Amino acid sequence: MSETVGVRLDVVRVFCGPDGRHGNQLGVVRDGASVPGAADRQQLAAELGYSETVFVDDDERGVIDIYTPSVRLPFAGHPCVGTAWLLDVPELRTPAGLVTTRQDGEFTWITARAEWAPGRTLRRFASPDEVDALDVPPPGEWIYAWAWQDEAAGRVRARAFPGRGDGIVEDEATGAAALCLTAHLGRALNITQGVGSQILTAPGPSGLIEVGGRVALVSG
């Protein structure tokens, strides 16, 4: 692990592409007790500047706390996938609910519910080229822009714009938004997001949805 602003930090890339590149960087403070207060955690997340930072409050039980640079989240996709890979635990306990996890070859999977990720606008475009050509919209609305690359095969091109005004103008890979799109379409998806990240999804029983991807260690 590396020493960053006074705490020991692991950094991983989540939802890497097939070539192992890209993915969304995630900071994980394994010793959550070293940053015990919500205000201090929020400050640290802002200083680190990752789209999300995870604080692990119990590594055996998988109890985690997730922050963007500006807000605390009850659930988020790429932090859960990255932390599940890093801790190698069968489940994670988030404020939103229990997230089960599994490893399948090079992919790490989590199971969660779309209602844990409210407030995202799914905006469909006619082609991947239109998605690629989008400018970053002004802050104020969380937009997941997407288009079919191959509808029959479930292949999607997407970009994500959190719109929080906290410096994260575009998210390279967002599991929670992929979860919402999967719930909306009711089918498994293979999503290429951002520069070249890959997110896989699969709807399951009782409203549960699996989200999976590759994880790579940056520093730790």
Over residues 74-90, the pLDDT tens digits come to 999 999 999 999 999 99
Q: Does 92 have pLDDT greater than 70? A: yes
Same domain? For 173 and 125 the reply is yes
- Identity at 175, one-letter amino acid code: G
107 domain residue, yes or no: no
Same domain? For 69 and 132 the reply is no
Same domain? For 141 and 189 the reply is yes
Q: Does 3 have pLDDT greater than 60? A: no
111 domain residue, yes or no: no
219 pLDDT tier (thresholds 50, 70, 90)? confident
pLDDT for 6: 72
Among 74, 65, 63, 61, smallest CA distance to 27 is for 65
109 domain residue, yes or no: no
Q: Does 93 have pLDDT greater than 60? A: yes
Over residues 122-157, the pLDDT tens digits come to 999 999 999 999 999 999 999 999 999 999 999 999
Same domain? For 90 and 163 the reply is no
Same domain? For 128 and 170 the reply is yes
Query: What are the backbone dihedrals phi and psi of residue 207, each rounded to the nearest 5 degrees, phi first?
Result: 80, 5
Over residues 94-107, the pLDDT tens digits come to 999 999 999 999 99
pLDDT for 1: 46
Mean pLDDT of the chain: 95
Same domain? For 6 and 96 the reply is yes
Give the chain's domain count: 2
| H runs (alpha helix) in the chain | 38-48, 77-87, 128-132, 175-185
- Identity at 132, one-letter amino acid code: D
Mean pLDDT of 199-219: 96
Same domain? For 43 and 15 the reply is yes
Instruction: Give residue 164's domain range.
Output: 116-214
170 domain residue, yes or no: yes
Same domain? For 50 and 123 the reply is no
Same domain? For 92 and 13 the reply is yes
Q: Does 4 have pLDDT greater than 90? A: no
Which domain CATH number covers 145? 3.10.310.10
110 domain residue, yes or no: no
Whole-angstrom distance, CA of residue 51 vs CA of residue 36:
20
Q: Does 195 have pLDDT greater than 60? A: yes
